[in-house]
Amino acid sequence: MSNAPKTFKHDHAVRDPAGRPIGRIIFAGGVEPEIGKPLQVALLIIPAAYTRNVLSFVFYLDGVAYRVPADTPKIKISFADGQHKVNHVVLQPV
C-alpha cells in the first residue's frame, strides 16, 4: 500500500499571498468549478492562526483571490478546535 494522502476529488488547498497552503476547501456539487468565477463551496477551513475574522480574510485558490461574502449568515460560520469553518457558501472573487 502507498502512503498517499487521502483526499477527496473536490478537496483543494487555499493559499496565502506567498503561495503557502493555509487552509482547505471542498467544492460543492459534482463538477469541477471554474476558477475566477463565484465558487459554490461545501466547506472552507481556515486556522485561527491566520485570521480572527474569516469574513475579512482574503485567500487564494489557483492564484485567484477570494473572500467569504460579508453577508454570510453567522449560522454558517463556526469556530472549533482552533479553526474557522464555513459551510455551504458561494465565495466571490476579489
Domain ranges of the chain: 11-93
Q: What is the mean pLDDT of residues 48-53?
A: 92
Question: What is the model's pLDDT at position 1?
Answer: 45
Count CA atoms closer than 13 A to 4's CA, side-chain side.
Answer: 5
Q: What is the mean pLDDT of residues 37-51?
A: 93
Instruction: Please tell me the distance from the alpha carbon of residue 22 to that of residue 37, in angstroms, as a whole number.
Output: 21
Inform me whether the pLDDT recorded for 57 exceeds 70. yes
* Predicted model pTM: 0.85
> Which residue type is seen at 60?
Y
Burial class (CB in 10 A: 0-12, 13-18, 19+), 91: buried
Instruction: Please tell me the distance from the alpha carbon of residue 79 to that of residue 26, in angstroms, as a whole number.
Output: 17
